Each structure stands twice: as C-alpha cells, then as structure tokens.
Amino acid sequence: MASGSAKARAKDGSQRVSSVASGGEDVTELLRSRLQQWWGYPDFRQLQKEAMSLVMQNRDSLIVLPTGGGKSLCYQVPALARDGMAVIVSPLISLMKDQVDTLQSLGIAAACVNSMQTGQEKSEVAGMIRRRALKLLYISPERLVQPKTIEFLRDAYVSFIAVDEAHCISQWGHDFRPEYRQLKTLKREFPGVAVHGYTATATEQVRLDIVEQLGLQNAEVLVGSFDRPNLVYRVERRVDAIGQIQRILERHKGESGIIYCISRRNVEATSQSLNRLGLKTLPYHAGLADEERRKGQDGFIDETADIIVATVAFGMGIDKSNVRFVIHAEMPKSLEHYQQESGRAGRDGLEAECTLLYSPGDVETWNYLMRDVEDEGVRSSSDESLRSMKQYCSSTQCRHRMLVEHFGQTLEKPSCGACDVCLKEMTEVEDALVVSQKILSGVIRQGERFGAGYTAQVLKGSKAKRILENRHDSLSTWGLLKDESETQLKHWIDQLLSQGYLRQSGEFNCLEVTPTGRQVLKGQLTPTLLRVRRTEESERREDSWEGVDRGLFEELRGLRMRLAVTRNLPPYIIFSDATLRALAKHRPTKASSLQQIPGIGAKKLQDFGPVVLFEIQQWCLSRKLPTDVDFLEGRTAIADISERPHSSKPATDSVTAAYYDLFEQELSMEEIAVQLDKSLDTVSRHLASWLQFQRRSDISPWVSVAVQARIEDSIGRLGPEKLKPLFEDLKGEIAYHILRTVATVWEFCQHEEE
C-alpha cells in the first residue's frame, strides 16, 4: 500500500515537473532566478544548466565536473525549483555539516541526520520532514538504506535523490566504499523517483560502473573538462621534505593550504617539524580523538590555522574555497586521488599551487599498505594506478596534458602555461644523448644489479664505503657526471625509466637497460632529459644569496621566529631577511663584528646580541667553518669558544634554556623527552649544543662508559661526521640519539687536541 501511494505521488510529482518543464526556456529562467535569488550568481557555469535540466525532467543522470565546478548547485538549485524534498547521499558527516551550514546561512531549509546528533536533534529533523518543511535532507548511505529510514521517507514526498561523491560506489574508483553498493536498491524502493550521481573524478571505466551499480535507467552522462587551468602543477623529487615544504610555504605566507602525507605517523612528524620551525600547523588523521580532529578541521575552516597536515582522510568534506596551495609530501596512490586532492586548491577559480614531492620508495609504501588486497582485479587495477602515478612524477610532458589525457580528454592548447614543464622551470638538456649514454653505460658497467641511488653515486664519483668495496670506483663510468648533483642524476634516471629506456626489476628495483635503451647507446634514439632551470627572477635572487650560508640562514630564521613568539612581535621587526642574510654571509661571533651588520643597532645588539652570537658560533664550530668573514680587512678566524659569554649557560630563548636547565640537573635524555614532550632526537640535538658550549667531556649521565667505548671505537675507524655508518657498523644496536651525543664530544675533544 505504501509502495503504491509512493508511485502515485511520484507520478503526480513528475507531471508537475513536466508542466513546468514544458517550455525549455521557462525552466532555464526558473533555475536562473533561483540561482540568483539564493546564491547571487547571475548565470550558470559549465554544464550546470544541462545538469539541472535533467533533474527538472526527472531523468536519471551522472554528472562529472571538476572540483570547484559547482556540482553541488546542480542538485541544490533544482531542489528549490521543484516540489517536495531532495535526499542527498553524502559519505562524511563533515561534508554534510558544511553543506547544511552553508545552505542554512542562505536561508534555505536544509538538515542532515547523522550519528553525531542527539536523539532530540534527530526528532526535530523528523518533525520537519513530516511537516514537509525541508527542501534538502543530507544522509549517509548506511542510514538511508535501513528499512525504517526507507519506510519513513516513503511518506516524505521525495522529489529526487542525489548521490554525492558517486565514485565511492565503484571498486575501480579512488575511494571505494562498500556501503555505497547498497544504494542500488533506491530505484526499487522509490519507484518513479530519479537518481542522480555527482563526482569530480571518474575515468570512463568508473563512470560505467557508477551507472550500473546505482541502477540508473537511460541515464544521461555529462562530463565536464578535467582541466583546472588555475592550478599550477609542480613535481619535485623528495630530497629534504621539510626543507622543500618550508620553501613552498615561503611563497604562501598567511595563506591557507593542505599538506598531505601517506601515514598517520608522517602526518604528526611533519606537523611537529614545521611547528618547531615556527610555522603554525595542525595534524589531522583518523587516529586522533574526535575532539582533536574536529579542532583541527574547524581551525582550518575558521582560519585560526592556515596549514593542516593530513592523510587523505581530510578534505572530502571541505568546501573551503580559498585554499591557495596543496602539497603532497609523498606520492598519492593514483592520478584519480591526485586530481581529487590537488583539486581542493583554488576552488574559487583563482590561481593556486599544487606541488608533489615524490620518491621511488613511495611505491613500496603503497604496495605494503595494499598487501592484504586479495581481489586480483582490484590489485591489478591498483598496480596500474601506481604505474600511472609514477609515470606522471617522472614524465617530461606537460602536467595538465597528462592529467586530462588520463581521463580520456585532450588539452587543446599547445602549452598549459601552468606547470613546471610549460613554465620552463624545467628545460631540455642540449646534450641529452651523451648524458643518457653515460647513465645507461653506468648501469651496464655495474652489471645491472644496482638501483637508482647507487648508480647516481657512482656517476657522481662518490667514495662511499659500499662503492669502494665493490671496486666500482675503478669503473670507467665512475665520476663520469661528477659536475652534476646526485638529485639531478636521480631525476634523469627517473626520466629514462618513464620513457622506457630503463626498467626496474627484482625485489630491490635494480636498473636494467631495455632494448630501446640499447638503441640509445648506439645513437639510434635520443631521450628527452630535463633539468631544473633558474629563471631570470631566481637568477637575480641568486646574486643576493652569493656567499650566504643557506643552512645558517634557515637556522637564524628559526631563531628569529622563536624570539618573535616570546616577545609577541612580528618576525620582521626582530630582524629583516636582509639582516639575516648578512649574518649568514659574514658569520660574526664577536660583538664588534655584529655591530657592522646592517639592521643591528645598539638596542638590538643589547637585546639579541648574545643569543645571535651563540647560535652562529655553534653552527660554525660544529661544521668547522670560518667566522667573522670579511671583517678585520678580510681576515677570518675559527670560532673561539673562549670568547663565549661567561654565564653557566648561553643567553638564548626560553625554550632552549629549559633544556639547558635539565641538562645541568643531569636528567637522562629519556626523562627530559617525557618532561618536555619532545622526541629523543630533539633532546639529543640540544644536548650536543650544550655539551659543546660547556666543553664537557664527561657524558656518563647520558651514556654509559661501556657504550661510549664501543661507539668511540667505531668513530675511530669511520669518523664522526655521519651517524648512519656508525649505526650500521654497530649492527643497529645503539640508537641515533646516543651516537650523536658521543660523536659530538669526540669531535670537539679531537679539535682541542689539534
């Protein structure tokens, strides 16, 4: 009986829609008037009019529009133009809340039902539905398909059903959710009611699967352009993730952005590292408590926090329009994911930047995370997605072109003008054939038994222990490209892989030369190799960086931020960037030298002189760098610790002082880490600085005599400069924070003996 009445109401509703829609121009004007009345937009964007018309005609449809293309309006506007209540299927509570809040702020009768609501709140929504006071109801797929929900909504005069994020129904999509598969019953439970799917990212295979899984009948499929011309795409090989992220953030001071990581651990580590550098970030991942996740999301939306560091669990429910940058600190697992996640930038149509930092190891990470996938079809699809993603990272083609072609479209313009390739940030290597032959020869000379990193080291002319043991320093290809950086060599190896001249095989991804690669060796084919090019603007900036120790500059920037925070002042009032560059260039360690730095007068010398001198002194001492450069008629001097301040601990900021107080109490590193809620690595770095300053050789409170003796024996053979060889020599039995402590004392003791 209920089903029959539902049919009658659906038929009656369809007739009313048809009468309104009898004149196409009348429907268009009705929709346009609603659009302007409620949203203030004078006209439709790409495919919006066509998509809305399908809803008005009560025809099933699938609409694919890019993020920022106005998908939501495609069902929200018709909901106000039709009688009855539209039911919107949404996968996330945050997405429901965001859209409902937006609609309610416009004065539109909208509500949602979700598990976070109280019983009273749910009853109020039910009352509004019974009174037919709602125009849009947002609900999760799990709740919608429950028998009691369906029974209740049969009497609610449902005008149509919209399935948002419809790609979630397809196992070939990038965010498959099994609960979406139950939505196929909607066509049976609500006969005569049209169902519409909406998504930003769907290949042709995914589109076909959505139509089938939703049971759409004679569905019209509308697909907009996948290109987002306002987004600038860049790809960088990950070398120093935090440093690279920090440089990107420098371009976006005070702007909102998202940094994506693969794992929860990396989210927290990245957020903490950036916060230690003085940036304000919040972490977001599924492992956080609900309150902490909500705090992070609300802070980002309310703009009390500009930067959120998150897993892909963050973003689907965010309609924030002014995200100016998206950084992927690690490679996404598919181009569908990348299109969706990077698309959260520039939703307002203004220029935004999307930078992807990748490493070949990211592929292994995703393979590990997907190790339990048993369905061969899904696994095969995932492997292909990873290959496409890796190809995108190492390609020499236009980024926009690669993305739209992946989704079966073409880029009409010869150049997008909005990616690192087309902006000429990467330019072709003139002698690409010769360079390629050197790389491929190197792979062959090594017996095709080593990976990209090792190959780059050999070509660079490294004397790493492993290379010497393999006697590869005697190869004719050793040092053949010594004038190039290892990073650039790895880039070129990636590019040769992407073009099919090299391939990887075996458990350790050893490089092998392909048949087409052997044609390159014979001079029959010439690969395309790109290198990062300095633009004229960056070259001009390089002039001002001449002689500047960039590492020290970054260290001083961190110090400036800490000083600014403790004094509640903008950092530039403490020191300008010009002053920091001069400090990092001349490296003063005496008050008389510091007075010669532009921007440091008597007051700043008094307030900040001791801590600045100490920071520079420690930097130079640990690296045996000359100090007071270009002072005293060009003479230089190695940092003299005897000129340090005569206090029990150096004048420094309050954070560092807290560490030094605990070191003087001889608390263990573990106790200090717990007390200050810091990692052992962080504690050991502060301890190293304190030990150097105090010239203290007795480290028994932190390292036992027996362990110290073992480490010193290893240092005597390998040197103290790098900790990894020591760690491996000691079979991984002694942690890095212990190694750092012993190496620090060993080094300055040796320096004093000399």
**501 to 495, 507, 516, 532, 676: CA distances (angstroms):** 9, 20, 6, 21, 52
Across 108-117, 527-536, 709-718, least confident range: 527-536
The mean pLDDT of 277-296, rounded to a whole number, is 86
Checking if the pLDDT of 291 tops 90, the result is no
* Tokens 């569905």, located at residue: 219
Looking at residue 437, what is its pLDDT?
A: 94
| Range among 317-321, 533-537, 579-583 rated most confident | 579-583
**Position 222 pLDDT exceeds 50:** yes
**Fold match between 231-406 and 538-643?**
no
Check residue 274 and report its DSSP letter.
H
- The answer as to CATH 1.10.10.10 being correct for domain 538-643 is no
Number of neighbours of residue 466 by Cβ within 10 angstroms: 11
Contact 455, 493 (CB under 8 A): yes
Half-sphere exposure (Cβ direction) of 558: Cα atoms closer than 13 Å? 17
pLDDT, greater one: 577 or 283: 283
Strand partners, 283: 309
3-state SS class at 454:
helix
Say which CATH architecture domain 660-753 belongs to.
Answer: Orthogonal Bundle (1.10)
Q: What single letter denotes the amino acid at residue 101?
A: D
Q: What confidence tier does 281 reach under pLDDT thresholds 50, 70, 90?
A: very high
The pLDDT of residue 686 is: 83
Confidence of residue 255 (pLDDT cuts 50, 70, 90): confident
Q: Rank 319-328, 642-651, 652-661, 745-754 by mean pLDDT and report only the highest.
A: 319-328
Interval 413-434 mean pLDDT: 87
Residue 209: both structure tokens together:
């699967």
CATH class of 231-406: alpha beta
- For the chain, the average pLDDT equals 82
Higher pLDDT, 316 or 355: 355
Mean per-residue pLDDT for 500-506? 87
pLDDT number for residue 313? 65
DSSP states of 714-733: HHHHH-SS-HHHHHHHTTT-
Mean pLDDT of 152-181: 84
- What is the structure's pLDDT at 541? 31
Tell me the CATH number for domain 426-532.
1.10.10.10
DSSP 28-71: HHHHHHHIIIII--SS--TTHHHHHHHHHTT--EEEE--TTS-H
Structure-model confidence comparison of residues 156 and 506, the more confident one: 156
What is the length of the chain? Answer: 754
The percent of residues in the chain predicted with pLDDT above 70, rounded, is 85
State the pLDDT at residue 603: 63
Q: Kindly report the pTM of this predicted structure.
A: 0.57
**Section 432-456 average pLDDT:** 93
User: Which has the higher per-residue pLDDT, 21 or 704?
Assistant: 704
Q: Tell me: the pLDDT tens digits for 445-486?
A: 999 999 888 999 999 999 989 999 999 999 999 999 998 888
Q: In the chain, what are the domain boundaries?
A: 2-223, 231-406, 426-532, 538-643, 660-753
In CATH terms, the fold of domain 2-223 is: Rossmann fold (3.40.50)
pLDDT confidence of residue 693: 62
**pLDDT of the residue at 601:** 67
Would you place residue 340 in the very low, low, confident or very high pLDDT band (cuts 50, 70, 90)?
confident
pLDDT at position 230: 87
Question: Whole-angstrom Cα distance, residue 161 to residue 186?
Answer: 9
pLDDT at residue 303, as a whole number: 64
- How far is 52 from 398, CA to CA, in rounded Å? 34
Residue 89 pLDDT: 94
Q: Cα 184 from chain centroid? A: 35
- How does residue 592 score in pLDDT terms, banded at 50, 70 and 90? confident
Judged by average pLDDT, the poorest of 39-48, 54-63, 256-265, 530-539 is 530-539
What's the confidence (pLDDT) of residue 634?
40
Residue 5, pLDDT above cutoff 70: no
Among 27-36, 181-190, 288-297, 572-581, the range scoring the smallest mean pLDDT is 572-581
User: Residue 618: in which H helix or E strand, if any?
Assistant: helix 602-623
- Asked whether the beta carbons of 198 and 88 are under 8 A apart, the reply is no
Average pLDDT over residues 278-283: 89
Are the beta carbons of 589 and 617 closer than 8 angstroms? yes
Identify the pLDDT of residue 569: 60
Q: What tokens were used for 128?
A: 């509004």
